[in-house]
Amino acid sequence: MRLLLTTLAVLLLALPALPVEAKEKKAKKEKVLPHADDVVVKAKERFEKDFGEKDMDKRLRILKWYGMHMHKTVLKDLSKLYLKDKNVEIQRAAAAGLGNQLHDPRRAGTALMQGIKKYEKYGSRKDVEGDEEVLNENESAVLATALASYAKLGVKPDKKGFKLIKGLIDHNHDDVAIAMLDWCGATKEYRALPMILEWFNFYPDGYSWAGGSVSVDTGAAGNKDAKAAKAKFHAKYGGRAKKARPKAHEAMKKALKEITGEDFEKPKQLKQWMDENKLLLKKNGV
């Protein structure tokens, strides 16, 4: 019997330990439980009382407090404020609260995506050169907060949803671009790599940007070739902010590390990695 127990002990010690990554994956699958109904009933009573005040600071404080509760009732209230309230500060606080609804990340993510959709036309480089930024700072803060909450929930959109938000990587406001890059890293979003590579090529080090050049031969006489070349240039490069973006650049490198596990100092290194991992990228919808 002693020999048998000794043999079993040796065999158990010889078994490989559960990999850290496997432990983490197992932990992530554990369901987050909402707050108890009676706790939320009391919280809502207090919220409705203080939120009815005229003082905006008091309204924001109680909304942020209420948004720390996880419950279907809170999620519903936050979604309504985020999507329908006219005040951008209220929208932002509600968006932050939605990021706390870890008991139902899919539903909270859907609400956030509905709000993000309002900014779809601002997520690309459609601005004519010389135009001022179309979103003011407060609106950009709402969008950045919504993206940060989306990242916190750890959900991924379907193909249609990703097509909607991928252009936000290219947003001229750093807080929006950083929030989008953080989300890409947090969800290990391989589908973002082509867009990130293009961004990396334009901002190779965070302090400079690519001038870019294109040529077009239309075979036409006169200045049509020049006009076509100019149009092609603006389609490829136009609208990107020509400014130093060190914080956004660091966010990009961090996202790439989280997605690929590699550190890239130059765009060509990322391009090489993508070429060497085509099967992986194809498997993940790239």
- 20 in any annotated domain: no
Torsion of CA 171, 176, 179, 185, to 10 degrees: 0
User: Are 47 and 145 within one domain?
Assistant: yes
Question: Which pLDDT score, from 0 to 100, does residue 136 have?
Answer: 64
- 73 in any annotated domain: yes
User: Are 44 and 122 within one domain?
Assistant: yes
- 266 in any annotated domain: no
Which residue among 135, 154, 173 closes a domain?
154
User: Are 224 and 149 within one domain?
Assistant: no
Q: How far apart are alpha carbons 171 and 233 in whole angstroms?
A: 18
- 16 in any annotated domain: no
Identify the segments of the chain with pLDDT beneath 50. Answer: 3-5, 7-27, 124-133, 212-221, 233
Residue type, 1: M
- What is the span of the domain harbouring residue 60? 32-154
Question: Which pLDDT score, from 0 to 100, does residue 123 have?
Answer: 52
Question: Which pLDDT score, from 0 to 100, does residue 119 have?
Answer: 73
- 56 in any annotated domain: yes
User: Are 129 and 36 within one domain?
Assistant: yes
User: Are 140 and 223 within one domain?
Assistant: no
Provide the number of structural domains found in the chain. Answer: 2
- 136 in any annotated domain: yes
162, 191 contact by CB (below 8 A): yes
For the record, the structure tokens of 40 come out as: 């939320």
Q: How far apart are alpha carbons 183 and 188 in whole angstroms?
A: 8
Torsion of CA 212, 216, 221, 224, to 10 degrees: -60
For the record, the structure tokens of 275 come out as: 């070429």
Question: Which pLDDT score, from 0 to 100, does residue 130 have?
Answer: 43
Residue type, 120: E
- 123 in any annotated domain: yes
User: Are 150 and 230 within one domain?
Assistant: no
User: Are 128 and 40 within one domain?
Assistant: yes
User: Are 50 and 142 within one domain?
Assistant: yes
Residues with Cβ < 8 Å from 57, sequence gap 6 or more?
A: none
User: Are 141 and 40 within one domain?
Assistant: yes
Cα angle for residues 22, 279, 155 (degrees, 5° grid): 50
Question: Which pLDDT score, from 0 to 100, does residue 14 have?
Answer: 46
Q: Tokens 């890409």 correspond to what residue?
A: 184
User: Are 41 and 135 within one domain?
Assistant: yes
- 9 in any annotated domain: no
Torsion of CA 60, 138, 169, 152, to 10 degrees: 0
